[in-house]
Amino acid sequence: MLTSKQRAYLRSLAVDLDTILMVGKSGMSPELTKQADDALEARELIKGKVLTETSPLSPREAAEELAQATSSEVVQVIGSKFVLFRQKAKESKYQLPRAPRGV
């Protein structure tokens, strides 16, 4: 579970990311889930977009389904775009702010 400070830190990093996932008319497919999983393994922080004209899912629904399927966290959903994060156990690129003690 990410704290609000960790979320804010990741949101600031996600501004410069290119969108690499597109959720279209087929919605959630096994191929899309595999692509997201591979991208999270390689990059840890990814940005996706829901093609709202054709997709049966809202951006929030798509982000939450992908997060659950890939064991990642939804960092942000804004408009038709979303950001997912899954930290590597070893050699992570991102040094998250620490959670306050007692939380």
State the Cα–Cα distance between residues 14 and 84, nearest whole angstrom: 9
4-85 has CATH 3.40.50.720 classification: no
State the Cα–Cα distance between residues 30 and 28, nearest whole angstrom: 7
pTM: 0.90
Helix (H) and strand (E) counts for the chain? 3, 4
Tens-digit pLDDT profile for the chain (103 aa)?
A: 889 999 999 999 999 999 999 999 988 999 999 999 999 999 999 999 999 999 999 999 999 999 999 999 999 999 999 999 999 888 888 888 886 666 5
Q: What residue ranges do the domains of the chain occupy?
A: 4-85
Helices 59-70 & 30-43 angle (0-180, nearest 10): 70
